[in-house]
């Protein structure tokens, strides 16, 4: 059987995107496999994985918007801008109000300039930024232009605020969280992050890695979790592969 198409994975926390790919390589009879967008180890949610000849479509996922739900903690900033990092600064969050956060969120809707986190896979002179950061080396990184289509605060129980954002590909939620903190004059970092969708692909359609293992253990040679190439092309509005 031609195992070419897309697999929607609901990534668990505390593993890397490459860990997901490595497990799928072990489980599936495929030579080519790759994801269409990295998720941080802290993050959970939708990963779109392409297999076989469908890997040729990876570039087209770069134009797709993404939706995230994320929680920030006010009063602390970390070197990684998330709770996996080391606290580098603290501040008083007692004066931050719901309305202030809502106004801050509204100020970021539209096209903005954003600096990627120093702990990220963005390349500088051929090497990812995190390699420089781990060695304590500062680099002069240029900001990138991204688009925040919507940014809504869902809940606020100090020091935690929950947001949902629809953003263009390439947007860093960790950087967005820091910027929200800067606007309300309070440091902040991400404590949870979940990707809900990539274009028309949604996490509700995704499969857990453990469920996939069970499918294959039951000799699911039809690969019922695989989105075939024709269906994938229709969802991407392309006619041929």
Q: What residues have CB less than 8 Å from 230, skipping those under 6 apart?
A: none
The token pair that represents 207 in the structure block = 């499969």
Residue recorded with tokens 């072990």: 26
- Rounded to whole angstroms, the Cα distance separating 48 from 50 reads 7
Is 10 one of the catalytic residues?
no
Please name which of 166, 149, 207, 227 lies closest in space to residue 23, comparing C-alpha atoms: 207
- Rounded to whole angstroms, the Cα distance separating 34 from 61 reads 12
Residue of 40, 155, 220, 228 with catalytic role: 40
The token pair that represents 215 in the structure block = 């499918």
Buried b / exposed e across 223-234, counting CB within 10 Å, b at 16+? bebbbebeebbe
3-state secondary structure of 202: strand
Catalytic residues: 40
């Amino acid at each position: 059987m031609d195992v070419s198409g897309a697999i929607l994975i609901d990534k668990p926390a505390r593993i890397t995107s490459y860990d997901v790919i490595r497990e799928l390589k072990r489980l599936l009879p495929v030579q080519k496999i790759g994801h269409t967008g990295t998720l941080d180890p802290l993050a959970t949610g939708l990963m779109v994985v392409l297999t076989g000849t469908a890997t040729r479509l990876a570039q087209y996922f770069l134009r797709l918007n993404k939706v995230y739900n994320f929680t920030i903690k006010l009063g602390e900033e970390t070197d990684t801008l998330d709770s996996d990092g080391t606290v580098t600064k603290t501040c008083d969050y007692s004066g931050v109000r719901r309305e202030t956060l809502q106004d801050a969120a509204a100020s970021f809707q539209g096209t903005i300039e954003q600096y990627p986190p120093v702990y990220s896979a963005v390349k500088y002179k051929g090497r990812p930024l995190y390699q420089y950061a781990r060695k304590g080396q500062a680099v002069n990184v240029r900001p990138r232009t991204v688009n925040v289509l919507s940014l809504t605060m869902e809940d606020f129980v100090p020091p935690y605020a929950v947001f949902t954002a629809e953003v263009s590909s390439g947007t860093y939620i960790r950087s967005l969280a820091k910027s929200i903190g800067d606007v309300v004059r309070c440091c902040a970092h991400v404590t949870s992050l979940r990707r809900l969708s990539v274009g028309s692909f949604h996490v509700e359609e995704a499969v857990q890695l453990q469920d996939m293992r069970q499918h294959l253990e039951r000799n699911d040679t039809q690969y019922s979790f695989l989105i075939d190439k024709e269906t994938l092309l229709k969802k991407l509005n392309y006619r041929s592969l």
